[in-house]
Amino acid sequence: MNRYPRDRVDQILEHVSRPSWAESIQAEPKLDREGEPAIQVTVVVRSGETEVFKDGSQLSSLVMSFHDALLAEEIDLWPYVRFVSADEIEAA
C-alpha cells in the first residue's frame, strides 16, 4: 500500500464540519476492491439520532465533504465511509 498520511488525514477529517448527529469519526488505511489504496472512515452516529439513516442525502453529503477536503489537500484516496450507530456499538 502506498504511504498513508495518517496524521494529515486525521487533521483534514477533524476540520470537516461535523453534523450534530456524528459522535465520532475515525479513519484507517484500506485497499479497495481493485487493490488500490483508500481510506476507511467510520462515523459513529449518536444514540437516538438514527433517523439520519432514513435520509441518505445527509450521509452522502458528509461523504462528499470528506472527499472534497482530502482532494483540497492533494490526497487522492477515496474515503469509503461506514456509518454505525452508537447503540450498535454498545450492543456488540
Query: Which pLDDT does position 50 carry in this prediction?
Result: 82
Residue 76: pLDDT over 60: yes
Task: Give the span between the Cα atoms of 47 and 49, in whole angstroms.
Answer: 6
> According to CATH, what is the number of the domain 6-87?
3.30.70.1350
Strands 79-85 and 37-45: what pairing?
parallel
Report the share of the chain in percent with pLDDT over 90.
Answer: 62
Q: According to the per-residue pLDDT averaged within each range, which of 5-9, 66-70, 87-91 is highest?
A: 66-70
Question: Nearest-CA neighbor of 51 among 17, 91, 27, 20?
Answer: 20
Laid out side by side, the sheet with 79-85 consists of: 22-31, 37-45, 79-85
Contact 62, 41 (CB under 8 A): no
Q: CB within 8 A of 52, min separation 6: which ones?
A: 19, 21, 45, 58, 59
Extract the C-alpha cell encoding 36: 488500490
User: First vs last Cα of the chain: how many Å apart?
Assistant: 30
